[in-house]
Amino acid sequence: MKWLFGFLGKSATRFFPLIIWLLVSCTSTPPSSENTPVSQPAKPQKEGATVIQEPPPAIDTTHWYVYLTFDDGPQPGTANCIQICKEEQIKASFFMVGLHTDRWGAGKRLVDTIRQAYPQFVLANHSYSHANNHYRYFYQHPDVALADFQQAEQLVRPNFRIARFPGNNAWGIEHKEKSHHLVAAVLHKMDSIGYDVIGWDQEWNFRHTNSRPVQIPDSLVARTMQLLREGKTRIPRHLVLLSHDRMFSRPADSASLQRYIFLLKQQPEIVFQTIDQYPGVSKSPAIAAHTF
């Protein structure tokens, strides 16, 4: 400041207002204009946060999938189930018991027929002994239970490592387990050798005195549609129906199965599918995956 007044000399007083204006103009920050883009600092990401690059895939809301499954074969009734599904041109899954296969020559041929009919049919593992109907002992001895399923795999040779537990509605898919605590250890062991375990959303009950169906087809279809519409299944829009081969050994009961299928086929949203197509099932090949 002194050098400036020295330069101007006596005329400094006259130019004093001009000097003050120049100094203020040079040191002040000009105001920003509304039309001038101002860059905003990026918001800091939380540590460990996941950035979604693409939206999740759209959920198919145009179809409802029904997985028709038959347990405990080969038995009287298995051949009728095969024939009806072929006539109606629908897909189905058969959970076979090794002991029944081993002791019945005609049963072995039925098992081969189902296996070779893939992809219309899927052959799956329902244990060797069916726990000899002593379920508590079976599940309280996980190594015994695992060996039982492995024995069934060797004999039945299912299409994939897909199983259902005898006498228990347990699920084990994508390493996610849903089961009663009694069977949890067996479920974990099955997962460790690559098995998906399938439960059910709806059951077609039978009378234990004569193995005949309890629900009539019309009421069963009404319940199936209700469960699908209300999303009361393990996965919305997907329903697994449990039935048993022996329920359909009589002509009148076979007709019930055929009517159930016929009524569902009248619903344009319904698609019959095999259990290997159920969401999350890994379709691990049987036998070749592991050496026992």
pLDDT tens digit string along 246-289? 999 999 999 999 999 999 999 999 999 999 999 999 999 987 43
Arithmetic mean of pLDDT over the chain: 85
Mean pLDDT of 170-189: 95
Is 140 a residue whose pLDDT tops 80?
A: yes
Confidence at residue 55, expressed as pLDDT on a 0 to 100 scale: 45
Backbone angles phi, psi at 94, to 5 degrees: -120, 120
Q: Which carries the bigger pLDDT value, residue 189 or residue 13?
A: 189
pLDDT tens digit string along 76-93? 999 999 999 999 999 999
Judged by average pLDDT, the poorest of 42-56, 67-81, 203-217, 224-238 is 42-56
Q: Residue ranges per domain, the chain?
A: 66-277
Residues 6+ apart with CB under 8 A from 96: 73, 74, 111, 114, 123, 124, 125, 126, 152, 156, 158
Is 45 a residue whose pLDDT tops 70?
A: no
Q: Indicate the pLDDT class of residue 61, thresholds 50, 70 and 90.
A: confident
Is 12 a residue whose pLDDT tops 60?
A: no
Query: Hunting for tokens 């050496």 — which residue is that?
Result: 291
DSSP H stretches of helix in the chain: 2-8, 12-27, 78-88, 98-102, 105-116, 135-140, 142-156, 184-192, 217-229, 251-265
What tokens appear for 235 in the block? Answer: 């996965």
Query: Span 66-277: which CATH code?
Result: 3.20.20.370
For residue 132, CA distances in Å to 98, 137, 167, 270, 290 come to 12, 10, 11, 36, 26
Backbone angles phi, psi at 89, to 5 degrees: 55, 50
Closest CA to 124 of 155, 91, 170, 162: 162
Q: Indicate the pLDDT class of residue 183, thresholds 50, 70 and 90.
A: very high
How far apart CA 275 and CA 270 sit, in angstroms, is 15
- Please tell me whether residue 201 adopts helix, strand or coil conformation: coil
